[in-house]
Amino acid sequence: MKSLIVGHLGHGELILPSLIAKGLAANDRAKVRMTVLQALIRHALDPGAEPIDLSAECRAAGVDARAVRSLIDEARAVDGKVTAPGLAKFTQELRSDVEAMMDAVAAGDATAGEKAAARWSAIQATAVAADDEITNDEIAALISVSSNDGDGSLHRLVMDLHKDLNRLSAACAEETLNGAHAFGLSPEDRPMVAAFMRGVDRTRSLKFNHPGLETSAVRAGQRLAIQNDIGTTDAHIIVVTVEGTAVVVTHTDVHEERARFFASLFDYFPVRWSGLDRQNAEGIGDGSGFCLITGQYEAESSERRDAFLEALGASLVFLIDWNKARKDLRSLTGKRDAVRILDWAARNEIGHRAFLELGGSNLVAAAVRHAAAARVGFGEQLTDALGREETVDFLKTVLRVSKEALLQGWSVRVVRDEIEADLVRRFERTDNTLLTATIRQAGLAREIAARIGRYIADRQAGGTVDGPLLAAFAQRIEQKADRLIVDTRNTIARLEASQTILQLANTMEATIDELEQAAFIASLLPADLDPVILRLIADLCTAAVGGAEALASGFAAAVDVPEGQHADTEDALAAITRLAELEHAADLAERSATACVLRGHFGTETALAVVELTRVLERANDSMAMAANLLHIHVMADLSI
């Protein structure tokens, strides 16, 4: 079928060598079959004579020796005719051999082909038995070397066709050039074929056990023609023709998406691509046709032309099983991302064949079952658990590791372990990414604590303060924090992230709630507060601001702990230590304020406001200390992996 398509595209010169080879093989069979007919008539006329053994000749020519022996043994002469079971089939096979020889001659020499066709038309009436009998005269006409009209016998036609085939074979003698089957090349053709084959050989190993990438090249008039069969799909062919520095690429494919993908790989060359046309050719395929895309490249120099030819050759391996790889990847991520991954794999000369050799989507499914079964629910895609970009990056890693594994001879078990380890790291990184939400929470807590601190400082300085404004500000921040915690909890639930992170987020939410309550109470403080009380409240606010800053610093450092940076671990642990110190300072300030109230002579409203404010601020500091303990647990868990 590939030969039919190449001929349909107008590049018959590329298939001539293979047609000649087939014609010469058919010549061998035809001569044996004519010898069999001679032996058959002899045996029919003299059944008692020892039959001629043609087993060796049959085997050498690829003819069924046992069928031939049976045909000769059962031949009988009756009323001037020879009969034998299977004779009609045998002469039909002889006819097919002759027609194969004629096809090859016609492809290489149209004039000789026309003459042979005219002779064959005259001979056909006697060339094939309609049933399992044939007259002695008909057999004689078939196998005789001469006839009354000089060239009217089949035997003579076969001899003349053989001469034509030998002449054509000598004219396009085959050589191997850098792995390509080359025919009739001129000296200027050789660098171009070598450039194309450099590309093919550079990436050939990436097809692994898949057949394909056979290349032929032939000089046809003013142009060099190169053909590559790519893989095993019948209608999947590339033909490249070169005249001077002009290159024309003709690519046929049964998959339109793959044809588009092929064209996209050469965006760094100014190739003019035709639209995708669906072609049909008589005798090709099931009638559904194939896609045809044509690219024209006018190179500014022979160097750029050869660079393009090399790029063409290197790209072909990435078309083998492309659609199968696209379907496998599409089951793991989106359709567009599947093509994006294949594009990346081709441009980085990684490919997808190793991925398919190792199981394709089943390889990834096994990794998910072993390493993240609790993270990815039944029927879910990886993107639901890892996110789109992280999933794309993971699948790129799978393709890269698969390639390296097969090229270096790793066992499948090692490959699976490598992929599972990468998947685990990505889920851990997802956990730590969620810590960024707690960093934002710490920042919101600091905003409220700092605003309360400034409010108290203004009271200490005797400045004008606006209590309702403070309360309204804290309420807005608390509402923003509420929206953040809802999103964070949903993400944690969807990804089934670490419970420690969930506890951290909840603890930070509690901290913000306490600080919002503190801002509300602070906004209601009496105007004539004792300076000592104001100083103690200010100390509690300072501790709260410091605690929120330390937590934000610790969370940020903890995000990078899994990457193995020792400094990040030290920063996280230092923040935890700082929180403990601040919590202790807040305890002392709260107790001092309580003692001051109990020993003094404050009104009931003032006493209640001071005690409640200092306790709420102390609870906020306690909550941040609890968050520090959870952060310590998280960091230690990362260090133990």
554 or 619, which is more confident? 619
- DSSP code at position 316: G
pLDDT in tens, 455-512: 999 988 888 889 999 999 999 999 999 988 888 887 777 665 667 888 888 999 999 9
Does one domain contain both 450 and 568? yes
Residue 152 has pLDDT above 70, yes or no: no
Out of 32-41, 109-118, 349-358, 485-494, give the one with best mean pLDDT.
349-358
Does one domain contain both 397 and 520? no
Does one domain contain both 502 and 628? yes
Residue where a domain terminates, one of 171, 202, 227: 171
Residue 317 has pLDDT above 90, yes or no: yes
Contacts of residue 127, defined as CB under 8 A and 6 or more positions apart, other chains included, come to 91, 94, 95, 98, 120, 142, 154
Out of 167-171, 449-453, 526-530, give the one with best mean pLDDT.
449-453
Does one domain contain both 311 and 348? no
13 or 43, which is more confident? 43
Does one domain contain both 574 and 546? yes
Residue 544 lies in a domain: yes
Residue 415 lies in a domain: no
Q: What is the pLDDT of residue 306?
A: 96
Does one domain contain both 405 and 463? no
638 or 158, which is more confident? 158
CA pair distance 520, 474, nearest whole angstrom: 8
pLDDT in tens, 560-601: 655 545 455 677 778 778 888 888 888 888 888 888 888 877
Helices within 174-280 (DSSP H only) = 189-203, 256-264
Does one domain contain both 450 and 576? yes
Does one domain contain both 574 and 450? yes
Q: What is the pLDDT of residue 638?
A: 55
Alpha-carbon dihedral angle through residues 93, 95, 97, 99, given to the nearest 10 degrees:
-140
Residue where a domain terminates, one of 279, 296, 315: 315
Does one domain contain both 432 and 578? yes
Mean pLDDT of the chain: 81
Q: What is the CATH number of the domain that holds 440?
A: 1.20.58.220
Q: What is the pLDDT of residue 236?
A: 66
Cα dist from 632 to 53, 497, 615, whole Å:
92, 17, 25
Residue 122 has pLDDT above 50, yes or no: yes
Return phi, psi of residue 186, to 5°.
Answer: -95, 165
Q: Is 277 left (phi over 0), alpha (psi -120 to 50) or beta?
A: beta
Return phi, psi of residue 78, to 5°.
Answer: -140, 120
Does one domain contain both 362 and 477? no
- Structural domain boundaries enclosing 56: 11-171
Q: Are 101 and 165 in contact (CB under 8 A)?
A: yes
Q: What is the pLDDT of residue 21?
A: 67
Count of CB atoms within 10 A of residue 79's CB? 7
Q: What is the pLDDT of residue 428?
A: 65
Question: What letter represents residue 601's amino acid?
Answer: H
* Helix or strand holding residue 399 (H, E): helix 388-408
In this structure, of 7-16, 235-244, 468-477, the range with the lowest mean pLDDT score is 7-16
316 or 107, which is more confident? 316
Residue 222 lies in a domain: yes
Handedness of CA 619, 621, 623, 625 (dihedral sign): negative
Out of 343-347, 360-364, 388-392, 496-500, give the one with best mean pLDDT.
343-347
Residue 2 lies in a domain: no
Residue where a domain terminates, one of 143, 171, 199: 171
Tell me if the pTM is above 0.95.
no
138 or 590, which is more confident? 590
Does one domain contain both 400 and 436? no
Q: What is the pLDDT of residue 370?
A: 79
Does one domain contain both 199 and 311? yes
Kindly state the percentage of the chain with pLDDT values over 70. 82
Q: What is the pLDDT of residue 561?
A: 58
- DSSP code at position 245: T
Residue 626 has pLDDT above 60, yes or no: yes
Residue 284 has pLDDT above 60, yes or no: no
Residue 3 lies in a domain: no
Using DSSP's 3-state secondary structure scheme, residue 395 falls into helix
Residue 5 lies in a domain: no
Q: What is the pLDDT of residue 198?
A: 96
Residue 395: pLDDT band with limits 50, 70, 90: very high
* C-alpha of 262 from chain center: 13
CA pair distance 611, 593, nearest whole angstrom: 7
Count of domains observed in the chain: 4
Residue 286 has pLDDT above 50, yes or no: no
Residue 124 lies in a domain: yes
CA pair distance 291, 280, nearest whole angstrom: 9
258 or 149, which is more confident? 258
Residue 235 has pLDDT above 70, yes or no: no
Mean pLDDT of 548-569: 70
CA pair distance 438, 484, nearest whole angstrom: 9
* C-alpha of 88 from chain center: 53
Return phi, psi of residue 240, to 5°.
Answer: -120, 125
Residue 420 lies in a domain: no
Q: Are 470 and 449 in contact (CB under 8 A)?
A: no
Task: Transcribe 592-627 into DSSP letters.
Answer: HHHHHHHHS---HHHHHHHHHHHHHHHHHHHHHHHH
